[in-house]
Chain A
Amino acid sequence: MVDSKVVLTGQTLAYTFYCIVIILLVAWFAIKVTGKGKGLAVKPAIFYTFVGFLTVLGVSLHLITFNTIPWAEMDLNRSDYKPDKTFVIKVKEHQFIMPSEKLVINVNDKVLFDVQSEDLTYGFGLFRNDNSMMFQMQVVPGHRNDLLWQFDREGVYTIRSTEYSGPKGVFMILKDAVQVIPTNTTN
């Protein structure tokens, strides 16, 4: 599965390009609307073309991401997948209660994280060593909070609560709690 970092890079480039274009467009409009020239009515055809463009853009964005971001389909249909490993993690009084000190995963394994809160709403996120986010989900008490993820490369990851649960929640960090190792070196 493509690393989430690659998706973020694509998104950064696309949004940066858009920002530059729209800032230049408004600047151009500001110069033109106050410069020499005659006021002309905009043709309705231009307006309707613009509406059509927005409609196509709004719908296609989700179709494109659904078909290019690998975890999107897997996430929506996760009950159809059989995980290679399942980790049940409990959260209570601002503490993650882990099934073992370190969660060891093989590369390319599909792993189900089943996180259960016994009091507040928390978050559950995996972070790389450079603090960038691999993924996250909400952890709502009284409900199933499960996330299926396939790891495509080796690495060591930190677990951190990604939802505010009071000032104590800031310290809900388990450094290097997840390790992804080459296939066939465990089990």
Chain B
Amino acid sequence: MSFINTFMNGEEGLFKSDTLTPMQKLTLRFVVVGLIYFGFVVIEGMLMRLYEVKPLPFITEPQFFAILTAHPLVGIFGSTYSIVFGAFLFLVPFLMKKPLWSIKLGNWTLILVAVGTFIFWFAGFVSHYAPLYTLYWPLPADFTQFSVWGGTFFIAGIALVMVGSAFFVINIFKTITYTPDGWEKQPSKALLASALGITGFRNLFTKNKKEHLVPLPVAAVARGSVDVALNTAIILFTGVLILVYMVAAIMGFDLKSTAIDALLYKNWFWWGLDLIADGLVLIFVAGTWYLLAMMISGKPLFMQNIARAALLVELVVSWTVWSHHLLSDQAQPAILKVVSGEMVTAFELITQGLAFFITLATLWSARPLKMTNPLKFLLGGLLGFALAVPAGIMQADIGLNRILHNTQWVVGPHVHVAILIGLTMTLYSAIYLLFPILTNGAKVYSQKLVNVHFWCHLIGGVGMGAFMGMAGLKGMLRRSLYLNGEFNLMMILAAICGTLLLIGFLAFFYNIVMSVGIKGVFGIFTPSKIKTKELVPSN
């Protein structure tokens, strides 16, 4: 097959978008949107990496900080949320063996997340609105520094993403509990209790133990979705609060920023924000590891009941750990610093360690395994969290936080290694596993490119995190600039590793496009010709 032919029609012409069900198309749309926004994030990240070495003439300082503000939000909402939502809207009905409750609502989730992300990204790009994702009060309402109109569109964009997130949560819980047309009545309450872990909890105290009605990965999705819902409520409420100040400013009123207590706001916002970083991400990832391990090995999950209980513990832990972000706030009560900031946070070492062990033990039970693409990326994802979680536990310590807070250590070995290696490689594993199911048997164009992607991503991500961490240990702050080249050696090395990440992503993107063809990519976004609620074609 010629290059042009493959480029247009995909590898061996196997991918035919006309054969896709509405559910397959929905999931693939999420993946495409997520990967495009991941491309945004990689390019933005590279621009910032280069800027940290030497300011680029075409980027002003306000623009640098606008990129710094948009970068994590595009990464989490535009990319990760898209891919995760798409995967779970497919996997939950797949595992529950019934159709998604509403494909229409699923499409609205996609539209709101994609459009909302573009609006806040574009608002930041044009107006340089840059209060960072932390939005420490009263910075988001500081109109001496930032455009009120830019801020209004920025916050409105975030709000759209949150509405899309709420639709996702509704769809997940309705799918778990509803009764499809023509089916025997489903035990909604019992299904919900099983999904949330109430059944398992009751089983601890009764002799008549009830069976779990939902599979373990679905329980993980449900419990992670609780954190999505809570996080959505917090961010929406905060957005409305900021919008009140913005609308007032547009109408010529100057509301007093001191009306809101900055520390209380910080606690409130971190409680909600941490439901992502220390809540839904960890729970979703653990659930995905379990599913991947079972599908790759073909074996039941090792210590299944413990795994299920650990997911519930993780959910409760995620509601009580936020104070580790306020260990350097001297007005924060000491009891919160010690109990929430240190002790409860240390539980994440245990829950994530359990997930790590259980996944490896499940794989071990099926040896010898073939080193498939899903397996190698899964091992990469496991390594990422094994590196990043202890780094986080170390900084969540009253003594060490005094010399680590807001340094590159936090954002390098902890945040970037967790997201780029732990989370993203887990998602890549899921993408490679689901690829033939979602495409009705399309073939990956080049295994060599998969390997290039794997090694560039792994070495680039770990390397970048390591060099950022070394700079942090030498005192380099995050959220700042060093214009005299104080940390150039580490920043150049981090930029080289960032380049590897970019090469890896380009190899992956090119490989996927060549696998399904340009016609196939566009075909994903046209309405399905098959009128069915089934996940995959029936024949």
Contacts and interface: CB of A to CB of B under 8 A. Distances in A.
Contacts of B365: 39-42
Contact of B367 (A37, A68, A136, A144): A37
Contacts of B61: 167, 170
Contact of A62 (B138, B346, B361, B376): B346
Given A131-B475, A133-B475, A144 B330 contact: yes
B343 A76 contact: no
A84 interface: no
Interface centre among B142, B399, B475, B481 (most CB of A within 10 A): B399
Q: How large is the interface on B (under 10, 10 to 19, 20 to 34, 35 or more residues)?
A: 35 or more
A29 B360 CA distance: 8
A131 B489 CA distance: 14
B369 A33 contact: yes
A37 to B, nearest CB: 5
Interface string B338-357: 10001100110110011001
B1 interface: no
Contacts of A167: 61-62, 64-65, 130, 145
Interface residues of A, number: 77
A33 B368 contact: yes
Contacts of B342: 62
A11 B400 contact: yes
Contact of A166 (B130, B331, B367, B406): B130
Contacts of B406: 123, 136, 162-163
B328 interface: yes
B367 A121 contact: no
A166 B371 contact: no
Contacts of A144: 330-331
B262 A39 contact: no
B90 interface: no
Contacts of B346: 58-59, 61-62
Interface string B238-273: 000000000000000000001001110010000000
A141 interface: yes
Contacts of A22: 383, 386-387
B262 A141 contact: yes
A38 B367 contact: yes
A44 B358 CA distance: 11
Contact of B399 (A44, A69, A163, A169): A69
Given A51-B354, A135-B403, A166-B139, A58 B475 contact: no
B405 A58 contact: no
B202 interface: no
Interface string A147-160: 10000000000001
A97 interface: no
A140 to B, nearest CB: 5
A95 interface: no
A29 B330 CA distance: 44
Contacts of A121: 136-137, 139, 262, 266
Interface string A116-136: 000111010101101111111
Contacts of B137: 121
A143 B262 contact: yes
Interface string B271-303: 000000000000000000000000000010011
A73 B115 CA distance: 49
B139 A140 contact: no
Interface stretch (B159-167, B212-220, B389-397): B389-397
B25 to A, nearest CB: 35
A145 B371 CA distance: 54
A160 B478 CA distance: 13
Interface centre among B136, B261, B466 (most CB of A within 10 A): B136
B145 A34 contact: no
A92 B293 CA distance: 54
Nearest to A117: B262
A40 to B, nearest CB: 7
Contacts of A168: 145
Contact of A164 (B132, B358, B386): B132
Q: Which of B258, B299, B368 has the most CB of A within 10 A?
A: B368
Kindly name the residue among B303, B328, B330 whose own CB sees the greatest number of chain A CB atoms within 10 A: B330
19 contacts: A29-B360, A32-B367, A33-B363, A34-B367, A42-B364, A51-B354, A54-B353, A66-B399, A69-B399, A69-B400, A120-B136, A121-B136, A123-B328, A134-B403, A138-B326, A141-B258, A145-B330, A164-B136, A167-B61
What are the 4 A-B residue pairs with the smallest beta carbon separation, nearest first? A69-B399, A58-B346, A72-B399, A164-B479
Given A39-B299, A143-B330, 18 more contacts: A11-B400, A11-B473, A18-B390, A26-B382, A30-B371, A41-B361, A61-B393, A71-B399, A72-B402, A120-B138, A136-B406, A140-B329, A142-B262, A145-B331, A160-B477, A164-B139, A165-B139, A166-B146
Interface of B: 61-62, 64-65, 130-132, 134, 136-139, 142, 145-146, 258, 261-263, 266, 299, 302-303, 306, 326, 328-331, 334, 337-338, 342-343, 346-347, 349-350, 353-354, 357-358, 360-361, 363-371, 375-376, 379, 382-383, 386-387, 390-391, 393-394, 397-400, 402-403, 405-407, 413, 466, 473-477, 479-482, 486-487
